[in-house]
Structure 1
Amino acid sequence: MNEQNETLSAAHQLMELHVEALFTYDERLRLHTINEPWPGSGPAPRFFLGRTIAGTSLCRIRHDVDDHLAEQLELWSAEESMGMDVERKPRHFENYRQLFQGQRFTMGPCFLVREEVSPAADAVIVTRDNAELLRGGFEWLLSEIDYAQPCAAIVRDNRAVSVCRSVRITSRAHEAGLETLEAYRGRGLASEAVAGWAKAVRNKGCLPLYSTSWENRSSRRVASKLSLALYGAHFSII
């Protein structure tokens, strides 16, 4: 089986891992909160739809959405498919928005960081022990450093200038959160940080997942530069 066929066959499983990592659930698989590893997570979106390159879909609905509305959402979701037309809006896009009275939505691609992606030699894992590297631009990460692990950084002039860390974590998969200081953007450092993070995640026996929005061109350039494996697209109504 070639690489593209392997990605196709694994696409639905990867989407399940993605949505499992993103949110917390109750016994009915209804969404409750965003699955952030640090304290104080906010509420999950009211509706999540994942479509895969294999033509499958899955949906998740927040616990406080009326059961009658949830049934309708599940029916529409069952009719969704994407295939390789990755940027196409969901078939029932307008129906979803009308049902939630035009609530804000997000949409974008979902990727797996391939195992063969190699990190740069100077990628550093940042922990509490060497958190001084975050001084000079990433001080806001100090409160999260014990939770958002692994946290990989590219260091220049004795400080972190691009950081990729785990912002959603399960026992099977981690989701990437990526930030680069403005003065250091456009130099390929973000890609190196993602590669360093992905290796650390795989060393934990987990899969490194990377998702973004269609509007985030810089993030999509990182995915293209690393030749990440696209497995689907997400759509959420906040």
Structure 2
Amino acid sequence: MMRDVPSDRELMELQTSALFVSDRDGRLRFIREPGYEENELDPAPRLFMGRTPEGNVWRFRHDLPADLVRELEDLCRAEPVLPGFTTAADEPRNAASIRDVLAAHTPITAEERGPAYRVPGGVPVPENVVLISEDNAHLLEAHFPWKITSRASFRFAPIAAAVKQGSAVSICFCARLTQDAAEAGVETAEAFRRRGHAGAAVARWAAAMRQLGRLPLYSTHWSNVASQAVARRLGLVRYGEDWWIA
């Protein structure tokens, strides 16, 4: 049975744990990916901040010097708590200062921001969506053959597939996974986009996660308009914003 819905800040803590492998001091080490050993994982970003109306969550990568961490910690602690939810234009107030500190250490190589959502219970699941197993894995062959053999395949965690003309045309899978939460990964074959298939797959995947006792989470980038449209159509509940810098 799923417990009561956590607070926005608690959801951000759960998502942070799902996104990254951390050490015992809470410092980020790797980007979590189901089915892979730690020595196969990509390094975590140097900074992650999750912003919610109930408080901010921030983490730093394990290899940052102590004096740099202290400087970043002061800036993150001074970052105001959101009075409401941001838009793409509403970057953190201390973003420029944080970038300057990181850039003085080593050049910034990547940066992303975007909304984070939880999938509420009771989202309707269309009939043309199935969970992939050994018995129906052939449904992936036309558009997603890599999912049959990938380390994080349906053998490790559920994959939901929207099926059209005898093939999976959109899939939702566990991009990140812990015992408490799962982060959705979604892919749709190009010819079948903007037809509601992605939302259908997300709905079935979320139901499967809830049956396993995990909170289904969904996040995206501000630049990904199509992904945000899926969230709106499904009625996903936004709890915050993710921001990371590598």
Matched AA of 1:38: G
The answer on whether the counterparts of 1:148 and 1:165 sit within 8 Å (CA) in structure 2 is no
Match of 2:179 among 168, 171, 186: 171
Distance change >3 Å, CA 215–CA 195, structure 1 → 2? same
Matched AA of 2:172: C
- 1:131 aligned onto 2:128: no
| Runs (5+) with no aligned partner, structure 2 | none
The answer on whether the counterparts of 1:167 and 1:177 sit within 8 Å (CA) in structure 2 is yes
Once the two structures are overlaid, the 10-residue window that deviates more, 67-76 or 25-34, is 67-76
Matched AA of 1:64: D
- TM-score, normalised by the number of residues in structure 1: 0.93
The answer on whether the counterparts of 2:20 and 2:31 sit within 8 Å (CA) in structure 1 is yes
Q: Deviations over 1:135-176 (max 9, x none)?
A: 111012121314652110001111110000011111110000
The 5-angstrom pairing of residues 11-22 of structure 1 reads 11-22=8-19
Match of 2:98 among 81, 93, 96: 96
- What SS does structure 2 have at the residue aligned with 1:224? helix
Match of 2:233 among 225, 234, 238: 225
Once the two structures are overlaid, the 10-residue window that deviates more, 83-92 or 153-162, is 83-92
- 1:141 aligned onto 2:147: yes
Aligned to 1:52: 52
Aligned to 2:20: 23
Match of 2:31 among 34, 52, 70: 34
Deviation at 1:95, TM superposition (A): 1.2
Matched AA of 1:107: R
Once the two structures are overlaid, the 10-residue window that deviates more, 223-232 or 98-107, is 98-107
Deviation at 1:32, TM superposition (A): 0.6
Deviation at 1:97, TM superposition (A): 1.3
Deviation at 1:227, TM superposition (A): 1.1
- TM-score, normalised by the number of residues in structure 2: 0.90
Distance 2:83 2:155 in 1: 36
